[in-house]
Amino acid sequence: MISAILALSQVTATPIHHHDDWRSELPPQVLDLIAQQEQTSTTGEPPATDKEQEKAKKDQERHKRDIENDIKEGKEIAELVEKELKLSQDKDAEAKLQAIGAELAEIANQAPVDVTWGDGRFNQFQYQFKLLEGDDVNAFSLPGGYIFFYDGLIKFAESDDEIAAVVAHEISHAAFRHMATLRREQAKMSWAALPAILAAAFSRNPEVISGTLTAASLTNQAFASGWSVDAEKSADYGAVQYMVKSRYNAVGMLTFMERLAFRDRFAPKIDWGIYASHPPSEQRASSIMKQLAKYDIPVKRSAVTTTYSARSIPQENGNYELWFGNTKVYSFGGAEAKERAALAVITLNNYLDTLPASYTVQTSGKELLGRGRVMFTGRAEDVIGRQISPEEAIRDARSALSHVIFDLSFRVWASPRG
């Protein structure tokens, strides 16, 4: 109909009337229709009504206030935290954190990502990363992009990828405004008590934690980085999305979580009761592995850790020992020891990254087999001075590798495959 009106208008606007603008003869209602059609043709979107424009303006103003409030509140709490807790003196760790943080902060501020829980608007902050003194393997995110890490976390991480995973996770908490969302959903949260809770939570002292939480009377409150189950999963997913856009390997998120969970099996147990707001680690790991699969990221733990990777260690006698984690697997001797060991590292990592079952490790004379394929072959020069045959050395390697596989089954969240 609009096109018909336009055609009719062009026919009736003849030079006889000596009008410079053919539109001047049209009724106002028709002019409005033509204007709407032209805007839709140009933008692909129908023109916004006055109400829609007013709503959009109010939404922008509200968004601006929310961001400003986050920054104000985060800054106030950050200042209190820095008064209560000492900043790290480790300049190298500080420099590493700042470099990784700057890269991921830039990515977070470039484009929005999917938000499964929290504020789905594109929230940009000037992120600040602070390193605190202490051996705790922990980090926490405050509103407005103020993020704190402990020395212990940087030391515990076995690669820049693992550090980046934690940084991206904490950025997600801030970018998705999880604290504001949590505060709305849990009205009984005592906001003023947060600094004390942070300090208590990271002390790992049961008496301090119990006393602080009792005094604060925080009912159903997830505190510090102990957000709700949905918030933790959301931050995990956000971190994967940020890391996919970076030079870092998102598998570092999985391995960091796995290694921390294994370590914490032997840490002092604290009954958090209603404050146990982190989802089960295996549940989060399963979710992360699905996200890695979504982005076609192979789960090669050896690429981002030392605990889950093989390495070659030169010896004074010229031999090269093959280790995986804390287990010695084999020793290569002779003129080609270095090259043979280097090749064995690659082969062993490829094999163990698949989390094989122990029965897939076999021997055939001097050959060590994994799923029927030769991983490396023993030689006479490997056993000089040891008073054993190459065949016996290979059988010892099989035994060591079986131990490695058994150990892995307790450390990672995935069932071994045949």
Dihedrals phi, psi of 324, to nearest 5 degrees? -130, 115
Local confidence band at 31 (pLDDT 50, 70, 90 cut-offs): low
Would the CA dihedral through 320, 325, 326, 330 be positive or negative?
A: negative
Dist CA 321 CA 310 (whole Å): 10
Nearest C-alpha neighbor of 164 from the set 79, 91, 228, 254: 254
What are the structure tokens assigned to 179, written together?
């604290």
Asked if residues 169 and 253 have their Cβ atoms less than 8 Å apart, the reply is yes
pLDDT at residue 322 in the model: 99
**Length, in residues, of the chain:** 418
Task: Provide the b/e sequence for 302-321 (b: ≥16 CB within 10 Å).
Answer: bbbbebbbbebeeeeeebbb
Residue bearing the bigger pLDDT, 279 or 388:
388
Lowest mean pLDDT among 27-41, 123-137, 246-260, 299-313: 27-41
The pLDDT assigned to 51 comes to 84
Q: What is the pLDDT confidence band of residue 354, given thresholds at 50, 70 and 90?
A: very high
pLDDT at 201 > cutoff 60: no
Name the strand (E) or helix (H) holding 373: strand 373-377
Position 249 scores a pLDDT of: 99
pTM for this one? 0.80
Q: What is the pLDDT of residue 264?
A: 78
- The residues spanned by each domain of the chain are 2-43, 84-303, 310-411
Least confident of 33-37, 65-69, 199-203, 338-342: 199-203
- Region of poorest pLDDT, from 32-41, 218-227, 363-372: 218-227
- The per-residue pLDDT of the chain, averaged, comes to 84
Cα angle 349, 355, 357; round to 5: 120
- Point out the least confidently predicted range of 134-138, 280-284, 287-291, 408-412: 280-284
